[in-house]
Amino acid sequence: MARVRTLIVQAPGTNCDLETAFAFEQAGSIVETAHINELVCRKAPLSCYQIMVIPGGFTYGDDISAGKILANELRLRLGGDIQRFVDDGRLILGICNGFQVLLKAGILQRGTDVTRESVTIAANDSGRFECRWVYLRVKEESDCVFTRGIKVMYLPVAHGEGKVFAEAGVAEKLQAVLYYADEEGVISDVYPLNPNGSIGNIAGASDISGRVFGLMPHPERFVRWTQHPRWSMEAPRDRGDGLQIFANAVEWAKAI
């Protein structure tokens, strides 16, 4: 069986591509990177890959709003290619800035009546850049491919705009998958457990198929136990909490 191939999309300001590539390699995938312009020019056809990833960073300096410019590029210049990619049963992952991109491009809302204009990612309620570790609770009955078998996680966040903000009644229509929680896994809206004030304590969501997933926390920053902030004081583990997200994706993609 051919190995799974993962494509990591780069744009000016991307800065988490190497860590994300390492995580997918640890999960057993072949990983390649391509600049957004290479995709637009079809030098890196999406059809060659089973997984597409938009990693963290500050694409185009987040000058208009976080992820907005790259979102427009994907929607206006690659919309058809991405639609076919997902329709063919392939996977898309967006991490932090990638989550912002997927939401603002409308890719994450596919299959629902949630419009691009009715939901966004806004500035943190704290008015500051939040760089901290958070506890997360997974919606166990979710169809999300990436979170299968996971109940709780402990992952870092690093963002200035991470608050999921929506019009009245819209948040309930999103396919929320991941929530900010306390150490016991109880969903919480108390700062800093919820570091940004996200509506419904949403930390991540998927499309209706469960094959497109975006999250604000950084799973690629905790794939080894020694990346844990208390690794030298707690009993060692074989892996970090984030690795299972990548392993789930690669395992699923083997059948594509």
Q: What angle do CA 213, 129, 203 make, to 5 degrees?
A: 25
Q: Is 251 helix (H, G, I), strand (E, B) or coil?
A: helix
* Length in residues, the chain: 256
Q: Which residue out of 73, 130, 161, 220 is catalytically annotated?
A: 220
- The order of strands in the sheet holding 51-54 is 30-35, 5-10, 51-54, 91-95, 212-215, 202-206, 175-181, 130-138, 152-159
**Residue for token pair 């000016």:** 12
Ranges of H-type helices in 16-136: 17-26, 36-40, 68-77, 79-87, 97-105
Instruction: Answer yes or no: 144 catalytic.
Output: no
Identified catalytic residue from 96, 130, 159, 228: 96
Question: Is 96 a known active-site residue?
Answer: yes
218 given a catalytic annotation:
yes
Which of 46, 38, 43, 40 is CA-nearest to residue 7? 46
Q: Which of 16, 73, 218, 228 is catalytic?
A: 218
d(CA 148, CA 254): 15
Active site residues: 96, 218, 220
